[in-house]
Amino acid sequence: MDLDDLTQSSEYTWRLEPRGRMRVPVIIYGDRDLMAGMDDKVLHQAVNVAGLPGIVTASYAMPDAHWGYGFPIGGVAAFDADQGGVVSAGGVGFDISCGVRTLRTGLKLADVEAKKSMLADALFEEIPAGVGSTGRIRLDDRQMDAMLSGGAQWAVEQGWGNADDLERIEEHGRMEGARPGAVSPRAKKRQRNEMGTLGSGNHYLELQRVSEIYDPGAAKVFGLSTGDIVTTIHCGSRGLGHQIGTEFLKDMAQAAQQHGIDLPDRELACAPIRSSSGSNYLGAMRAAINCALANREIITHLTRQVFAEVLPQAQLELLYDVSHNTCKLEPHVVNGETRHLYVHRKGATRAFGPGHPDLPAVFSEVGQPVLIGGSMGTASHILAGNSGNDVLSFESACHGAGRSMSRRRATKTWRGRQVQDELAERGIVVRSPSMRGIAEEAPGAYKDVDAVVDAADRAGLARKVARVTPVVCIKG
Amino acid sequence: MDRAIGHPGHWEHFSHMADIGIRGVGASIDEAFAQAAIALTATITEPTTVRVEESVQLDFSSPDRETLLYDWLNALIYEMAVRRILFSHFQVHINDCRLQAQAWGERVDRARHQPAVEVKGATYTELRVAEEDGTWIAQCVIDV
């Protein structure tokens, strides 16, 4: 990215003041190297977002930002319905409520070392992953609607999850305001065989070892010590979310035109929050959030069953579950006034600070666990929400490493078997239905997650707590 | 893997940071759409490994040619998802903004097809349907 147009307001904060169609400034967080390596299209897309009706304060991009659809991936933008604000399908993305959850296992590396291949095989066998896989749970029309209204709470009621998990999931496991009736029959049909499936691409289930602790106080509250084994699941709302995204992108492109919203890029398709299109999208998108929460709860249940067979001494307790593709109505203080805003996070993690009323009591002093996924051979990070982030990015942080190389170039650079063998030499067991899939997800195709997380920490978006490295990776 | 050039049409992939661009090229819009569909399959698997065992018929209209391509690719993605199949051969007929097509393929065989990614949807990014000097192209980025 050409940095000449930007003003550096702190070491990690870069601004572009409003010009042309922009209603608010663009603010991008990152160090100079991350900024220089960032795609020019991030700034271009963030500028486009800054011109949308009803946007409040700024159009933000996180340190892992890259070229997305309309909005940059790593984009955060809040809209006020009272000011003609919009909701955008592109601002949420195709994989609605894609997210990450991490579970403590109560095990150390020595407990799993001898059994990690067996564990990898059993997890790969039991948790459907990749193209053409189907879940064992089939929902009829009534059950589908109950799932779309009930989220992880519904999954627990069905016996696919633990009630103790719920307070450690955003929205306590159930998104209010979901409208199953706003979800098309095609979206529901696409989901019929996909409950409890991992998906493919960058989605994964990993066993990870806590390799470093940066904040011992917060780590203690999170129940993490060096050498602990945790399990992390990264996936989203599966076919249902993809279909809703596809349908509403088209619907909103028309709605924007009807409401006189001039879009510089069709992918920015949006509708006023107070319009039938906007309200239908919010109802369907919230139903998709419940689908993702139910899906991660079911996968957790399957994971617990595998551990019960292979390593029965394990106790899988949920640390937290975050979603990084959402639009949520939240109160935020803007210039001393509390306003209720529709905050879009496209590839960005909500990061509530200490004392936030939506957090369970256990996190009230340290803030929300913020889970950042890396690529399969490198590291992932666990951070904590910061006080004072409300004025930085509406309480949001980065979501992952972000790609630095296209899939096409990755398959030309590496072969899947070679990547798998190299990781095996480093003690990382990888299972996937596709060697090409492994090549496309090679660690070298991603940005340095440590640099992304350092920038998020130093910019004040969230605080580093622990770093984890993979031991077993199941790729879809 | 990412390019198959032959007479009369061909397909190719182009780079997008997080995802993949697909492009069909042909002597007619029908052929460009059929080639774009092969490029879609090629993001998942090697199209020549997909046998012709069953088929799906599609018939719909869209407000303009570019939306027609968006709808065509998304219709195939939907059929692939709900039927658990991959397509390798396509017959497409476009008249104004109405598309009538038949797509042939087979159920996913994970051992033989080694499917690399699941396609979430076709997007408006780099979406273009155009004719230049008698050659048609049909392209967009797909989210994987």
Mean pLDDT of chain A: 95
pLDDT tens-digit readout, A280-301 = 999 999 999 999 999 999 999 9
Interface check for B2 against chain A (CB to CB < 8 A): the answer is yes
Print the domain residue range for B74.
3-143
Partner-chain contact A269 B115, CB within 8 Å? no
Mean pLDDT on B133-141: 95
Contact A42, A28 (CB under 8 A): yes
Partner-chain contact B123 A243, CB within 8 Å? no
Residue predicted with more confidence, A39 or A367: A367
Q: Is the pLDDT of residue B2 over 50?
A: no
Q: Is the pLDDT of residue B17 over 90?
A: no
Contact A183, A288 (CB under 8 A): yes
Interface check for A138 against chain B (CB to CB < 8 A): the answer is no
Name the closest residue on chain B to residue A266, using Cα atoms.
Answer: B124
List all residues 6 or more positions away from A234 whose beta carbon is below 8 Å from its beta carbon: A98, A99, A100, A202, A203, A204, A205, A206, A373
With CA atoms as reference, report the closest residue to A148 among A117, A106, A97, A188.
A188
Q: Is the pLDDT of residue A471 over 70?
A: yes
pLDDT band at A329 (very low <50, low <70, confident <90, very high): very high
Mean pLDDT of chain B: 92
| Range A7-404+446-475 classified under CATH 3.40.50.2300 | no
* Spatial distance between the Cα atoms of A240 and A293, rounded to a whole number of angstroms: 13
**Domain boundaries of chain A, sorted by first residue:** 7-404+446-475
Residue B20: CATH number of its domain: 3.55.10.10
pLDDT tens-digit readout, A263-273 = 999 999 999 99
The residue of B15, B123, B140, B141 whose CB has the most chain A CBs within 10 angstroms, and thus the best one to mutate to test that interface, is B123
Interface check for B81 against chain A (CB to CB < 8 A): the answer is yes
**Residues of chain A contacting residue B81, judged by C-beta atoms under 8 Å apart:** 190, 239, 242
Name the closest residue on chain B to residue A45, using Cα atoms.
Answer: B125
Mean pLDDT on A96-117: 96
| pLDDT at residue number B8 | 64
Q: List, as one string, the DSSP characters of B59-73.
A: EEE-SSHHHHHHHHH
Partner-chain contact A267 B13, CB within 8 Å? no
Interface check for B125 against chain A (CB to CB < 8 A): the answer is yes
Name the 3-class secondary structure at B87: strand
Interface check for B52 against chain A (CB to CB < 8 A): the answer is no
Name the 3-class secondary structure at A473: strand
Partner-chain contact B115 A130, CB within 8 Å? yes
Interface check for B118 against chain A (CB to CB < 8 A): the answer is yes
* Spatial distance between the Cα atoms of B98 and B33, rounded to a whole number of angstroms: 13
E strand or H helix at A298, and its extent? helix A276-310
Interface check for B91 against chain A (CB to CB < 8 A): the answer is no
Q: Is the pLDDT of residue B3 over 80?
A: no
Name the closest residue on chain A to residue B22, using Cα atoms.
Answer: A408
pLDDT tens-digit readout, A126-154 = 999 888 888 889 999 999 999 999 999 99
Residue showing tokens 């042309």 = A20
The residue of A139, A244, A265, A408 whose CB has the most chain B CBs within 10 angstroms, and thus the best one to mutate to test that interface, is A408
* Spatial distance between the Cα atoms of A300 and A296, rounded to a whole number of angstroms: 6
Number of domains in chain B: 1
Interface check for A431 against chain B (CB to CB < 8 A): the answer is no
Q: Is the pLDDT of residue B77 over 50?
A: yes
Interface check for B127 against chain A (CB to CB < 8 A): the answer is yes
Residue of A267, A407, A433 with shortest CB distance to B110: A433
pLDDT tens-digit readout, A376-422 = 778 999 999 999 888 999 999 999 987 888 888 898 899 999 999 99
Q: Is the pLDDT of residue A71 over 70?
A: yes
| CA separation, residue A246 to residues A95, A187, A243, B33, B74 (Å) | 10, 10, 5, 19, 8
| CA separation, residue A36 to residues A1, A2, A30, A458 (Å) | 5, 7, 9, 18
Partner-chain contact B82 A192, CB within 8 Å? yes
**Cross-strand bridge partners of residue A327:** A344
Mean pLDDT on A33-57: 95
Partner-chain contact A250 B108, CB within 8 Å? no
Name the 3-class secondary structure at A70: coil
Name the closest residue on chain A to residue B79, using Cα atoms.
Answer: A190
Name the closest residue on chain A to residue B107, using Cα atoms.
Answer: A132
| CA separation, residue A155 to residues A142, A151, A195, A287 (Å) | 14, 7, 10, 14
Q: Check residue A58 and report its DSSP letter.
A: E
The residue of A48, A64, A94 whose CB has the most chain B CBs within 10 angstroms, and thus the best one to mutate to test that interface, is A94
Partner-chain contact A267 B117, CB within 8 Å? no
Mean pLDDT on A438-463: 93
Partner-chain contact B123 A132, CB within 8 Å? no
Residue of B81, B110, B115 with shortest CB distance to A239: B81
Partner-chain contact A69 B127, CB within 8 Å? no
Q: Is the pLDDT of residue A253 over 80?
A: yes
Contact B124, B70 (CB under 8 A): yes
Residue of A199, A403, A437 with shortest CB distance to B18: A403
Name the closest residue on chain A to residue B111, using Cα atoms.
Answer: A433
Pseudo-torsion of CA A237, A240, A245, A247, nearest 10°? Answer: 180
State how far residue B53 is from chain A, nearest Cα, in angstroms: 16
Q: Which residues of A are catalytic?
A: 399
* Spatial distance between the Cα atoms of A304 and A164, rounded to a whole number of angstroms: 14
Asked which of A168-172, A322-326, A419-423, B14-18 is least confident by mean pLDDT, the reply is B14-18
pLDDT band at A309 (very low <50, low <70, confident <90, very high): very high
Flag whether the ipTM exceeds 0.85: yes
| pLDDT at residue number B16 | 79
Partner-chain contact A435 B19, CB within 8 Å? no
With CA atoms as reference, report the closest residue to B37 among B84, B85, B98, B88.
B88
Mean pLDDT on A36-47: 94
What count of CB pairs under 8 Å joins A to B? 123
Residue of A73, A94, A130 with shortest CB distance to B110: A130
**Residues of chain B contacting residue A245, judged by C-beta atoms under 8 Å apart:** 120-121
**Residues of chain A contacting residue B77, judged by C-beta atoms under 8 Å apart:** 242, 246
Interface check for A190 against chain B (CB to CB < 8 A): the answer is yes
**Residues of chain B contacting residue A265, judged by C-beta atoms under 8 Å apart:** 124
Residue of B15, B67, B74 with shortest CB distance to A408: B15
Q: What percent of chain A has pLDDT over 70?
A: 100
Interface check for A89 against chain B (CB to CB < 8 A): the answer is no
pLDDT tens-digit readout, B91-103 = 999 999 999 999 9
